[in-house]
A and B are shown apart, each in its own frame.
Chain A
């Protein structure tokens, strides 16, 4: 029939086309194999995991965090159930209509809801999205009544941090917040999952590992419609361990009450072991607002507050110690045999070094005095005359012995090490050569030397207890929910300071006179029947540009910082206290009154002291009005 084919049947060119197609086909097969190799061999592990996760649904059940308790087991921070309105997109019938319905019901903005849902769009549709957090009982009942109209919505009970004392000790306990994606990548947080909360500051941060419980999970194999196949395996969450602090609840509350309207810090500590009895920093904040992610508005408000509510001033704020630092000069001079305690040195209203004139805070000073009186009256010129005899490096050596210039090691994050000047350190830090006169400023605590309240109270504790420096600590013990003690803190002696007992006693006597002699600077801190010892301090913020004595005319931020640090009783001390009252209206003497109230309360609790029978007007308590508000420079 057809004469189309030649002797070979088909034209040569047509045969070649077959070869071409066979080659193309072979190439395509090799591309296919290469792709399979990539998917199955190179990325096989990744896809394998994806396939497994595809089929297994895990819903994490957040474990309640452990409680933070006082030493006697009173609750400072605990978890309570919060009610939250949540949705699972998989069970929604008409998202838009239901969201509008809920928004109207709860008087909320529909767009806000929609935004929240959109943000979580990439979550698997079975995973709950929280729409409204921590709703009120009224809102809860409104929801329950209308539940029928809201398929796919449900109430999710989630543990939330609860702070019965709100702002008290907020910086010490710290706040918690939803774990961030960058935290999740850190190795130390590898036990967390994305719905967890994590301690961000304070004890919550420091003991996060213990406070955080073991999250539970609901695990079920499902098909692509999310329908469960087989058994649901539930692992119950285990609550985190309870943290007993060393804090004394009544003392803590009193300390906060006393500082509430001031800026500063109080630490009360047991000088014989470093147990912290109370620690507050003011102004404070309510950590509750952080626990579910703080709103931008609140955050801005806290951050813009120039009194830094988030800062734990007790350990993070290093300031000039003022006259409280004079004990270092005294101990150094005694140890270097420059003076004896009873040796009288002339101390006038001024002290000259070359062309420079250094002033005494009290212009009426004009007598030969011994060390006791010099401490009691906080005579600057007495210490200037010591200052010219001691090199700054030697002086620093004694400051280091008492623990200044380095962290105390308290169990809280971000402790400030402060700074103690030596020639070398000052050059390294400020690129300045030492000027001899600066030593005179250092010795009265008004120069490069800066200390934190915790360092100061630790140093004074060691003077009180005869030379032992203990690491201050806040944790008493950590107890798991089944009663096992996971960690127990024992007092830790860091070192015994290398200073003769007799010198310490001499300084102690001086500190005793500060409060108990009528010429002392803290007579208003006197406690009936107890020898309360301590030292006032007033640290200038700027040098005397305001030569006014009416303190109220000075802008707040330029007002001096008032210190008082002391311990009681003299023999066998039970408590040491530091009070930092920043930019105070009344100075060191008033800080002493605050400290006194703490000491009284504690000793009263211990049964060592009884308040005098109430005679409000006649008693020594009246001395508050005697506070010499004109006292201006350091004492």
Chain B
């Protein structure tokens, strides 16, 4: 069954393929930047927020790779529940990295 959430690259022409390729490179670049920033930040609340952004970009990449089911899970778990649980942990412990 053809899913309506994903833009299948087989339905696009040559130009569409190139656009998707460039978008892929852009997403992956931003993903690496987000990961490095999340590790290097000293304030852990900022780090959690950057991790949520990382999850959102990862969901976009899954969607772009025609896996909308995994993208759905990544958006709900990674950007939603994990952020809540990390913030709950920060409330119980210290906010700044020593």
Q: Do A and B come from one complex?
A: no
* Residues of B participating in the A interface, judged by any CB pair closer than 8 Å: none
* Residues of A participating in the B interface, judged by any CB pair closer than 8 Å: none
